[in-house]
Structure 1
Amino acid sequence: MINEPEMHPVTEELNESEILESDGMDSVSEVIPPRPKRRRPRKYKFVAGLLSVLIPGTGHLYLGLLRKGISLIFIILLDIAALLYFSSIGMQINVPLLILLALLIPVLYFYNVFDVLQTSDRILNLLNHNGAKDEDGVDSNLNSASPVSKRRSLVSEPGISFGLLLLFGGALLFLFRQKPVWLQFYIEIYSGVTVAGVLICIGVLLGAREIVQRINKRRGSGNLNIFRIGRFTAVLLLISVGVLQLIDWKDHTENMLLLLKWWPVVPVLWGIEYLLMYFSTRRAGSGTSLAGKKFRLDVGGVISAIVISASVFIVVEQEHYIHLWNRVNLNLTAAAVDYAQATGNKYQKPTLIVPVELKSAKLTIEAINGDILLHRAPVEDIEIVATVWVDQLEGVMAEAISEQSFVEVTEGSNIKITPKGKSYGESGKRQPRIDMDILIPEDRRFNLQVRTMNGGITLQNVEAIKDISLETGNGELILHKVYGDITGKTLNGGVRVRDVQGSVDLSTSGGDMNAWDVIGPLKLSTAVGNVAAVNSGGTADIFSKNGNLTVTEARMKVHAESLNGSINVRSSQIGGDWDIYSAVGDLDLFLPLDGSYSVEGSSGYGDISSDIPELFIDKKTLSGKVGTGEYKLHLEGNSNLNVRKY
């Protein structure tokens, strides 16, 4: 029998030192194989894009970008909740705000698809690059930056903003669903200052962050080697818009309209910032802290600041640019409507009582066809007496049109009065004429906005809180004993203003304009018609393309200009500079002998005459000084120039 070799338990006979001295480590490594590295499942760009198209945000979740995906989903839900809230509450709806909220949904949707496709490319390229091995089978990226740090540098996700979004966004989402009364009150009263504060805070934080980063770069402690050109331009824009909005909210001014005039400053500031950085880096030598630094245009930051500023302007100043649009399309709308005249059948509606609340501060009237008369009376609430005129119809048919015509009223902080006429006629576009006599309580004042396409507007013994806006397509503007700052326009009609305390800015395309006893700046402009201003207590600015101008007793600054018409200015005292020009027409001025002014006048083709001893005529010019010459009188024309004693 063959003897089998004996098996000895090596582990029991060998001591620890013997095991260490032997090749035990090699045997152990052979017996226990290394644990295989767990590989992440491969991500597919097509799947990520498809998920984003179907449900926004899910593509980012598929790629492992949980915070970005959740943020997109949450922002869309918050935007929908805000859209539903602002369209359902009882206060005056801000149409531009609803439009912006509605447009934000497709913008977020397409950004979600675009971003997930771009992010997929970066992640897949990074994984492919990290998976490369050298000849010994070792990852070639182990000696460089870690894949995690590279991934973070290529794929950005929100940091602390994610938590703030969930916190404040969730609170807003809850409030939008509950609709508390105090939230509506807060939005109506304090939304302006809130937006201003947010813009200023964002601008200050971004500016401070950029300054700190640049200081760290100069000290050599910064990680980035790139300066962003345009960041300070964006910061200044946000802060400027916030400050203007804060001033408007506090003082009830309209400084935000300055953005329409000063917006070209944005590229100027951007250009200055670019040039400063360009020359500073060129001057930097090899041993300076700016050596090796690069800079790039912060296009995203500047565009974002412009979009935010424009959105705030559109929402806050909706009445002004809507007014500009109304001026453009008023002729087109008026041409498409057929107006009934104040003839034929006349029906008087029962008096309509409109309760006046404590918070009521504005009265808006939007009419189509008919005269509008507003005046104060000993009444407790607003009373409306409407008279309906129906021509071209008789009997029952005319009465039916009258019954279907009424005045619609919306109560609240902004009382809105809108006549609703029943269209009739062969074309179906003829509007019955609805004249309105509106009585306002004597102890209440309102800001007024009155607009009609066809008909005159008359204000008598009316006091506004501050502003009065008037507009008619075809009709006169008549104001008597009015308190407030007035702006108005008529396309075809005259203007008569008497005894107004406040500024007046009125214009017409065709019609005479007359103003008496206006205490405040006066501005009258007509394309075709004569203009006369008597006893203006403030600056007088009158203009006519084809008409004569007359200014009597102008106590302050005067600017009068006529392209085709004579100008006659007379005053017993001079209290401001005068600038008078007539392209075609005589200039006749009557000046006091005991004033303090200097005169510089010229006439291109006419004669010059003067009976004031201190004024001298030299060919086609007139010059001289009366008293100390404090105020400057500049006279220019192409016809006769006559200066007489007053």
Structure 2
Amino acid sequence: MGKLGVTHRKRRWLAAILAFLLPGTGHLYAGQYPKGLLLLAGYLLDVTAIIRLADSDGGRHLLLIVYLGLMLPVFYFLSVYDSLQTLERDDGIPLSASLSHGIALTAAGGLLFLLVKPPDAILPWMNELAELSVGPVIIAIAVVLLVLTRKRLVVTMFKLGRYTAAVLIVMVGALLLWDQIQGRNDIALLGQWWPVIFIMLGIEMIIYSLRSRKIVQKLRLDFAGISVALVISLTAYVVTQYADFPFKWLDQWNVDISGISEYGEETGYRYDKTVVKVPLDENISHIRIVNPNGQITVRSDDVEEMELLATVWVDVKDQAEADSIAEQSTVKVTPGDEVAFEAKGQAYGANGSHKPRMNLTLTVPMALSDQVYVEEPITTDPPTNTDQPVVTDEASGDKSFAIETIGTAPPHSPSSTISPTELPESGNAERKGEQNAVKLNIEAELGAVDVSGLLLPGGLDIRISSGNVKVGNVVGEIQVKGINGNVELQAVNGDSSIETKNGTITATGIKGQFYANTLNGSLELQDVGGDIEAETKNGKIKITGAGASLKADTLNGTIEVNSNHVGGDWDLDSSVGEIKLALPEHGDFAIYGSVTFGNITSDFPFDISKKTIRGSVGTGTHRIQVNANNSISVKKARL
């Protein structure tokens, strides 16, 4: 007996090793030939399908590939666990083959043959069939769960959650199939309707309580069915809704914890305040604007001093209370060579956490403007809203701010303001040399920022939590850092660095180096003369006209570059998405690209294998490196 027990343990150990190395071989060793062959065929079918789908168009079949990938550990678990259980029960007594075993094995072999060597007649339809099959396969899983329940009706056991799991899986499969046929995105409804799960579980409990009065049944939670349903549902939602998950939620939470949700909007009573004028010091080097809640607009016009126009919105019902809040709201002004404007809204509300909205418009003299780049007339009219009541002072027509002034403003002299006729005509370089390196710093929490028509040798620095940023016709280095909001740059002469967590970045007509980074949003760049570095985690990158070197990287999105000039090395990388290039017919560049999934097409006579593309135009001075998991397309530029 001892010798037999040792032999039995060795057989179980060997069966486990074989089952772990290749699913199904443990059953074959144990004599369970039908189970072993079916497991082996199913595993090979799963792996082959993943390879075929990834090779044809991986990005298109991402959801199906993920589902098939999740099945791989299931095959290993069933192979190891069931082979050991078989030896434990009957010491490997062979199992007779049934008709269903033969039919299933024949079908698996036929599918394997179609995937390994698909006939030309069905090859064009394989992508469409693969996409349409996701929903029906998921629904079939739900049917299996229900069949298992029907077989066990005679057992005195109630599996709580099995019907809920089956209905949930059917809903997911039906939504996926519906979206594929109709070209919609109704699967996103899962993010709103998920509480229905608890309603369905409650209905199951009601059914159980009614049945248990007539039939004595034990209650047990169906962990397996619920787990399968949750994995299928969450996978479908995350993969299809990746663009909305999870960055927007996290970024919004980061903004809300700072108290922005307590800030007022442009509703209630509006107060147009008296214009605050600050002399322009001839030695000015720094302008700083701070506004926690409200729009900031900075522009140039034919004025002799810096002029600050502010509008206060107070969203309370009582006008007398609104008058008091507006009166106590202040702008802290620090004149001199480092001018500062800081908006301080008077707190109000039950707990004193509410702040009024204060929109600031700063108009600077032409001495800080760039006449070369201003393309449109600039107005300093305050924002209007005819639907809201406007409250003004009866005597002056305005309700003046309380102004806190630190230090003494220097006397204004005509020499501190340069008229447009006094500006040199020899270009920006000479004009910069005659002026101080003025820097503009803007700090905002909630509200848009708009800067236009300025000459800032010291640069422009914008820090914003939530709101869109627009910069146009500016000479100087630009730096923008934000959390929520789009950033738009137009006609900028200087290096630019743009970072935001959640928003689209667009830029047109940039003379200088350009760096753009966003976690969740697209990048659209046009006519950038300097080096470009563009990166996004979730969004497409589209570049038209690249003057120098280029580096573009996206985790989930397409990269499109259309340029009639290659003036530097290019490095393009897309983890999930296609890369589309439109290159000049004449130039000096060499291209090397590779794909993991998908195909490579080109209008150029480059050397193309199944997974790589190589070639050169002219002397091949500049290098173009392309790495994509999906397809690569190279065409001739037509700008």
TM-score (norm 2): 0.49
Larger RCO (CA under 8 A, 6+ residues apart)? 2
Larger Cα Rg: Structure 1 or Structure 2? Answer: 1
TM-score (norm 1): 0.48
